[in-house]
Structure 1
Amino acid sequence: MVRLQLQRDFGESQNTTYFETAKIQTFSKPRNVCLSKTFDGDGCLKQIYTGLSTYIAYLPYVERENLTAAVIIDVKHLTTRLLNHIKDKLKDGWDHTLNVPTLPQGSAWTRKMVTYSILSNFENFMKDTCRAIYFINIKPKYVRMLGGKVPHNVV
């Protein structure tokens, strides 16, 4: 949907795949504890919380670019609800201070490409988040079924 709007705004002559490999960094950690062999549910929730906080900070940038603004309002609302739910699940009242870098305010093309990159990375992040939350929910039952042992290839 975003790609179609970019093509409509800038025409077919522009290369819309030029910035597809650009990544908006959400984590400063070198490894993803949600996908590692030594899965840590609490660490994974903290990582999800950090990522969601980052994307919530990026969504006003996307909204300013007026790309599907009505949808972005719903996404912001639902992401905030998910963030609050995950914060409630975290032990010890963990709180994280967020340091979000400023995003480019250059040409219209640059802003659209950054917006596209944010939305693309957010989609991938949410896919990984859904998998991790599903695994957090089924892991206790799965571990009991295997007698307390988790095989290394499960995650």
Structure 2
Amino acid sequence: PRPEPRRSHTMKFPRDCGCDRARAGRRRPPALRAALLPPPLLLLLLVPRAAAAPLPSADSSGEAELDEAAARRAPLPQSLLLARLLHARAAQLQDEVCEKFTICPNSMEMLLHNNLSLPKVTKEDGCLLAGFDEDKCLRTISSGLYTFQTYLKYVQETFISENQNVESLSYSTERLARTIRQMVINPEEVIIPDAATQESLHTKLKSIRAWTEKITIQLILRDFTSFMEKTVRAVRYLQNTRSFRA
């Protein structure tokens, strides 16, 4: 007997089942593709897409204030070195006057003729550790250094033998005044004597009698030395404690 033909095991699908359309190179209709998606993804497609909400911007005002304060604080190390140098130079010039003219800082003659309105640092200026006020103290120091310029000019013109040393002292004092003024929150509040005020004071100093010139020189150097001593303490306190606030 003739053997029966071998049957193929290939499964045939009805023409309209759509299963053979999944083969490579063919795309499913959009409705079918959506129907095959998992329910959560399908839900996302059906819901209208909302406009992207902007991310909340970080409040940079606090950072800006910190950056501004840090920028003002930057000259502190340089200011401290310069203040110490000025204090040492002024003290040395004091000793020179005492040695050459026998007029020393606390002599009776100085006490009798001390009628100068020299800048000072007082308790009310906020430079003492108790009740320290950074900005007020820096304004006082900067204003005082600017005022001392006219007095130091008089010393330079009168103390001939130390003319160059006093000139260097005056130049460095003006430099420190500018540097500290930059650390003040509002530099316009620093008092800088105008040209007329400086000229009036200079004329008054030049009218001092010759025999009291040496006393006036020592008075100026003494008070300037004291002023710089307090300046050194204040600037050092600011640098060491980092208490400088915006």
Task: Please state which band the TM-score falls in when normalised by the shorter chain.
Answer: 0.7 to 0.9
Kindly tell me: are residues 36 and 104 of structure 1, through their superposed partners in 2, closer, same or farther at Cα, counting changes over 3 Å?
Answer: farther
Give the whole-Å Cα distance in 2 for the aligned partners of 1:133 and 1:114: 28
TM-score of the aligned structures, taking structure 1 as reference length? 0.74
Matched, 1:49 2:142: yes
1:23/1:117 contact within 8 Å kept: no
Matched, 1:19 2:109: yes
Residue type of the alignment partner of 2:221: L
Deviations 1:75-119 (A, max 9, x none): 011111111111111112324243564336232221111111001
Give the whole-Å Cα distance in 2 for the aligned partners of 1:138 and 1:103: 39
Instruction: From the CA coordinates, give the structure whose radius of gyration is larger.
Output: 2
Kindly tell me: are residues 67 and 91 of structure 1, through their superposed partners in 2, closer, same or farther at Cα, counting changes over 3 Å?
Answer: farther
Give the whole-Å Cα distance in 2 for the aligned partners of 1:6 and 1:40: 40
Higher helix share: 2
Ranges in structure 1 where 5+ consecutive residues have no aligned partner: 11-15, 142-155
Q: Which residue of 2 aligns with 1:5?
A: 100
Kindly tell me: are residues 17 and 84 of structure 1, through their superposed partners in 2, closer, same or farther at Cα, counting changes over 3 Å?
Answer: same
Matched, 1:118 2:220: yes
| Structural RMSD (CA) | 2.6
> What number of residue pairs does the alignment pair up?
134
Residue 137 (structure 1) shift? 1.2
The percent identity for this pair of structures is 25
Residue 19 (structure 1) shift? 3.3
Structure 1 moving runs of 4+ over 6 Å: none
Residue type of the alignment partner of 1:37: A
Give the whole-Å Cα distance in 1 for the aligned partners of 2:121 and 2:228: 18
Q: Which residue of 1 aligns with 2:209?
A: 107
Give the whole-Å Cα distance in 1 for the aligned partners of 2:110 and 2:236: 28
